[in-house]
A and B are shown apart, each in its own frame.
Chain A
């Protein structure tokens, strides 16, 4: 009875979010619904007497694999539009028909099979699985170790960008800057000393004029800077209350 209820919970928790794979627009939504599917499958494994696999499913899939998917999504930009023009004519309907046909075929074949369930109360305890893994399947374990190392090295090689020019030292960078005629000293810091040191207020020179270079160019483009007029007025006329004395 409990197993029946668990099955339906798992079925709803896996099939409905996995439909997002077909119909959702944003890749991040799809990734999150696949995370839900993975959690549902972990619940199914625990219900099927494989608690070890359930834990591994959570750790490997929801913890590592899907987070890596999200990471790559962020890396390539979440707002990658999917172009909807079809390269192969009618690919959508062919694909739909093909997968629905596959589903019908699989379900029909599975429905015809009758199997005597031999539930002998096998539990996927870590101890028993470890015994099997390291006795009967020890060679496979070692091969899998090789596979993982190869995959890690392969990923490093694939994402590695060779450096085409030698790395420039700090001295060379400084000399190039001076040769280009740039100001060799630091730009002045923003803010009016002891009055206002927020990034949006330009510094004032001794005569009370605004130093343009002291404010970030980004803020200037966004028109988020202040002109510092109230602070200048305060400097000129100390009697007047200004700035943050208000």
Chain B
């Protein structure tokens, strides 16, 4: 159960990073931390229930996270090419 609480704390830190940081890459690392916290909770529950399914779900989450990182970083690079910055506050074109 301790591990689940640890996962909750890590998830909150990750969400705070996403909310507070303006650097796109740092915010993205916050997303990674949140995914890892979810993984930790899955593995902890798998241990508690004595079943393997939690670990397999965590494995799937890792694969999805890897795919997400590839696409996300490609988007960040495309954004950087277009406007020479990776600040999340810069793109304000949609503002009315």
A18: nearest chain-B partner, CB-CB: B13
List chain A residues, Cβ under 8 A from B56. 129, 132-133, 137
Q: A92 to B17, alpha carbons, bound, how many Å? A: 10
Query: Contact partner of A82 among B8, B12, B22, CB < 8 A?
Result: B22
**A165 part of interface (Cβ distance < 8 Å):** no
Query: Contact partner of B16 among A72, A83, A99, A155, CB < 8 A?
Result: A99
* With known contacts A45-B43, A115-B48, A155-B74, A124–B13 Cβ distance under 8 A: no
B34-59 contacts to A, CB under 8 A, are 36, 39-40, 43-44, 46-53, 55-56, 58-59
Shortest Cβ distance from B18 into chain A, in angstroms? 9
List chain A residues, Cβ under 8 A from B77. 72, 75-76, 158-159
Shortest Cβ distance from A205 into chain B, in angstroms? 45
The answer on a CB contact under 8 Å between B29 and A21 is yes
Q: A4 to B55, alpha carbons, bound, how many Å? A: 21
Q: A244 to B73, alpha carbons, bound, how many Å? A: 52
Q: How many residues of A contact B (CB 8 A)?
A: 79
User: Interface centre among A19, A49, A65, A128, by most B CB within 10 Å?
Assistant: A65
Q: Mark B54-96, 1 if CB is under 8 A from A, else 0.
A: 0110111011111111110111111011000111010010000
* With known contacts A48-B44, A61-B36, A158-B77, A21–B17 Cβ distance under 8 A: yes
The answer on a CB contact under 8 Å between A151 and B14 is no
Shortest Cβ distance from A111 into chain B, in angstroms? 8
The answer on a CB contact under 8 Å between A148 and B63 is yes
List chain B residues, Cβ under 8 A from A31. 29
Q: Could you show 22 A-B contacts with beta carbons less than 8 Å apart? A: A15-B9, A19-B13, A21-B26, A22-B20, A41-B39, A44-B3, A48-B3, A50-B58, A64-B66, A68-B69, A72-B77, A76-B80, A83-B22, A91-B19, A95-B16, A98-B15, A103-B9, A106-B12, A115-B48, A124-B46, A155-B71, A155-B74
B residues engaging A (CB < 8 A)?
Answer: 1-6, 8-17, 19-23, 25-26, 28-30, 32-33, 36, 39-40, 43-44, 46-53, 55-56, 58-60, 62-71, 73-78, 80-81, 85-87, 89, 92
